[in-house]
Amino acid sequence: MNRKPLSLALCTATALAMLLGACATGGSNNASPSASGGAAPSGASPSASAEAPADEKPTEITIMLPLNTAETPPDRIKTEVEKLTNTKLTYQFFPADTYEEKLNSSFATGTLPQVTYLKNSTTFLLMREAIKDGQFWEIGPYLSEFPNLSKLKPEILDNTKVEGKLYSLYIGRPLARQGIIYRKDWADKLGIQPPANVDELFEMAKAFTEKDPDGNGQADTIGIVDRNELVYGAFKTVSAWFGTPNYWGEQDGKLLPEFMFPQYVETMDFFKKLRDGGYMNQDFAATSKTDAVKMFTSGKAGIYIGGSMQDIDSLNKDLIKNVPEAVLDVHSMVAGPDGELRQWMIPGYNNVILFPKTAVKDEAELKKILAFFDKMMTPEVANLMYWGIEGVHYTVVDGKAKVSDDKELVEREVKGYKDSVIGEAATNGMYESLNELPGRIHAEQLIVENEKIGVKDPTAALDSATYAEKGVELQQIMTDATYQYIYGQIDKAGFDKAIERWKKDGGDNIIEEFNAARQ
């Protein structure tokens, strides 16, 4: 009994001592290559380009971008892109979820690579101050030298300008993809037409709740399913139909935030009535996107409003497994109380790319990098990065791309690059997607129609110091007040009080600054 623990201890001690030795050498072994490796992204390319003739030597480019898929894609696509563009690419993917932290720390420590993708327009807003400070290359003057880059849409480029100068390339997105996705089988069964105006939308939600659309004899269905998001959930889309401006609107020649407009209050009343009547999920203010989607795909809800009508594909996929007879369709032409049709529009980009001066040493290097993006905007490269290799990841049918049936292969090898292609089909010439689901085809038609009646955010390219500093915090006041109004916790007077607070805490300054910036 006495011996065993002691010998055990001796063993442990020796093992630990050995480990200490092993660790010390292992650590230094590891450290030395890394020291040079760490310096490589910034240091390697100038010295490398000195060796060989500049024309033949592939340009070395390090690219940092958010990862929106489960894992980083293998090199298959990248190798093809390198061949087509005469480059040597190093892609550094980082999870989108914590991308800001990575971006901030790399930025603050001067370790951003030559090509830096941001995450979205909000992140872009945060970088404005650094951009103004001259931390990134201004690329506007060079654009005309590149035939493909100069095809980028000027109205979207304008939205990404900082103090009138262009620093970034954009990843395009349709301007207005939102609308409703609804159960066409239910609507047909109850003899309801797609809602032509907001009143009919309300009636549809009511009928879907009360008239037992699934015919199981139980009152277990609801009309609209929404989630805890005012902007990308149902609220903003419906508010645009009511005629509420897109974040900011003009009244008597002055820019004011959306919640100061009567249409915003009408929208709140609309949702309040929906919720009070039980025509939407009661807990929507605490419902995540997954739970909202789940409610819809389980066949319990009739109308999904959130994000993009293009979601119909993935919603349909799970829904028909649970409810084989379900038929989905989309709809977006819903008139306001005044009979007008409107849609809110995003600024036309999903993300932008910046070129840090810490990594891109001179104009020549910048031009080489821009040349790579110029080639990315040829149909050949754009298709490769967006759709993959023809015949492997997709085939062309009727001039459109049909994704391979081997969805896993596509998911693994192509999707990581999809979100990084600059421009859009109209400018980079890549294939449109071949859709088979009738609802999805309808969605694509409506997206084109939506743009024609789109309402822009007039502040998209305007600066406000207070907004940059406190905008998110202040918006929280109004988001809370909006939910509280819908849930009946505060009335119109309470909502007005919230507006007063918003104004007092900094909103007045934002109004002033935006209006001044517009002059």
Partner 1 sequence: MVEDRTFGGRLFSIVNFALLAVIALVTVLPFVHVVAGSFTTNAEIAAKKFILVPTVWSTEAYRFIFSTPTIFRAMAVSIGVTLVGTLFSMLITSLMAYGLSRRDLDGRRGLMFLVVFTMLFSGGMIPTFLVVKELGLIDTYAALILPSAITAFNMIILKNFFQNIPEGLEESAKIDGCHDFGILFRIVLPLSMPAIATISLFYAVTYWNTYMNAILYLNKSEMWPIQVLLRQIVVLASGMDYSSNLDSAVPPPEQSVKMAVIVVATLPILLVYPFLQKHFAKGAMLGSIKG
Partner 2 sequence: MAVRSQAALRERTKSERKKRMWRNRWIYVMILPGLLYFLIFKYVPMFGLVISFQDYKPFKGILGSEWVGFEHFERLFTMPDFWQILSNTLILFGMNLVFYFPVPIILALMLNEVRTAFFKKFFQSLVYLPHFMSWVIIVSIGYVMLTMDGGIINELLVMLGLPKINFLLSPEWFRPTYIVQVIWREAGWGTIIYLAAIASIDPQLYEAARMDGAGRLRQIWHITLPAIRSVIVVLLILKIGDVLELGFEHVYLLLNSMNRNVAEIIDTYVYTAGLRQMQFSYSAAVGFFKSAVGLVLVMVANRLAKRFGEEGIY
Q: How far is the CB of 449 from partner 1 (least distance, A)?
A: 19
Tokens of 135: 């931390």
79 is a contact residue toward partner 1 (CB under 8 A):
no
Q: Contacting partner 2 (CB under 8 A), which of 57, 72, 86, 100?
A: 100
361 is a contact residue toward partner 2 (CB under 8 A):
no
What whole-number distance in Å separates Cα of residue 502 and Cα of residue 446? 36
Find the binding residues for partner 1 in span 195-214 (CB under 8 A): none
Q: Which is nearer to partner 1, 92 or 358 (CB)?
A: 92
494: how many CB neighbours lie within 10 A of its CB? 12
Find the binding residues for partner 1 in span 447-506 (CB under 8 A): none
Residue among 104, 109, 158, 105 nearest 127 (CA) = 104
Secondary structure (DSSP) of 281-320? -TTGGG--HHHHHHHHHTT-EEEEESS-GGGHHHHHHHHH
- Site of tokens 């277990």: 220
Q: What's the burial of 78, exposed, middle or buried (CB within 10 Å: 0-12/13-18/19+)? A: buried
34 is a contact residue toward partner 2 (CB under 8 A):
no
Q: Contacting partner 1 (CB under 8 A), which of 57, 84, 86, 120?
A: 120
What whole-number distance in Å separates Cα of residue 97 and Cα of residue 67? 9
- Asked if residues 349 and 160 have their Cβ atoms less than 8 Å apart, the reply is yes
Q: Contacting partner 2 (CB under 8 A), which of 120, 135, 433, 509?
A: 135
Q: Using CA atoms of 216, 218, 224, 225 in order, give the dihedral in degrees to the nearest 10.
A: -90
Q: Contacting partner 1 (CB under 8 A), which of 43, 46, 54, 71?
A: 71
102 is a contact residue toward partner 1 (CB under 8 A):
yes
Q: Contacting partner 1 (CB under 8 A), which of 59, 117, 119, 259?
A: 119
Q: How far is the CB of 488 from partner 1 (least distance, A)?
A: 25
Local structure of 451: helix, strand or coil: helix
435 is a contact residue toward partner 1 (CB under 8 A):
no
Q: Contacting partner 1 (CB under 8 A), which of 111, 150, 395, 509?
A: 111
Q: Which is nearer to partner 1, 186 or 261 (CB)?
A: 186
Q: Which is nearer to partner 1, 100 or 269 (CB)?
A: 100
Local structure of 175: helix, strand or coil: coil
Secondary structure (DSSP) of 393-449? TEEEETTEEEE-S-HHHHHHHTHHHHTT--B-HHHH-PPPBP--SHHHHHHHHHHHH
Q: How far is the CB of 141 from partner 1 (least distance, A)?
A: 30
Q: Which is nearer to partner 2, 30 or 47 (CB)?
A: 30
Binds 216: which of partner 2, partner 1, none (CB < 5-8 Å by kind)? none
38 is a contact residue toward partner 1 (CB under 8 A):
yes
Half-sphere exposure of 348 (CA within 13 A, CB side): 23
133 is a contact residue toward partner 2 (CB under 8 A):
yes
Q: Which is nearer to partner 1, 177 or 442 (CB)?
A: 177
288 is a contact residue toward partner 2 (CB under 8 A):
yes
503 is a contact residue toward partner 2 (CB under 8 A):
no
Q: How many residues bind partner 2 (CB under 8 A)?
A: 38
Window of 127-135, 141-149, 371-379, 427-435 that interacts with partner 2 by CB under 8 A:
127-135
Find the binding residues for partner 2 in span 202-231 (CB under 8 A): 222, 228
Return the HEC string of 79-118.
Answer: HHHHHHHCEEEEEEEEEHHHHHHHHHHHHHCCCCCCEEEC
Find the binding residues for partner 1 in span 276-295 (CB under 8 A): 288-290, 293-294
Q: Contacting partner 2 (CB under 8 A), which of 138, 333, 471, 518?
A: 471
- The helix/strand count (H/E) of the chain reads as 20, 15
CA dihedral (44, 45, 50, 55) positive or negative: positive
- Asked if residues 156 and 423 have their Cβ atoms less than 8 Å apart, the reply is no
Q: How far is the CB of 32 from partner 1 (least distance, A)?
A: 7
Angle between helices 465-486 and 121-132 in degrees, nearest 10: 160
Find the binding residues for partner 2 in span 472-491 (CB under 8 A): 472-473, 476, 479-480, 482-484, 487, 489
**b vs e for 123-135, b when ≥16 Cβ sit within 10 Å of the residue's Cβ?**
bbbebeeebeeeb
Find the binding residues for partner 2 in span 292-311 (CB under 8 A): 295, 300
23 is a contact residue toward partner 1 (CB under 8 A):
yes
Binds 71: which of partner 1, partner 2, none (CB < 5-8 Å by kind)? partner 1
What whole-number distance in Å separates Cα of residue 157 and Cα of residue 424? 13
Binds 96: which of partner 1, partner 2, none (CB < 5-8 Å by kind)? partner 1
Find the binding residues for partner 1 in span 306-325 (CB under 8 A): 307-308, 313-314, 318, 321-322
Residue among 457, 472, 495 nearest 258 (CA) = 457
298 is a contact residue toward partner 1 (CB under 8 A):
yes
44 is a contact residue toward partner 2 (CB under 8 A):
no
Q: Which is nearer to partner 1, 70 or 397 (CB)?
A: 70
Q: Which residues bind partner 2 (CB under 8 A)?
A: 100, 104, 107-108, 126, 129-130, 133, 135, 222, 228, 281-283, 285-288, 290-291, 295, 300, 468-473, 476, 479-480, 482-484, 487, 489, 501, 505
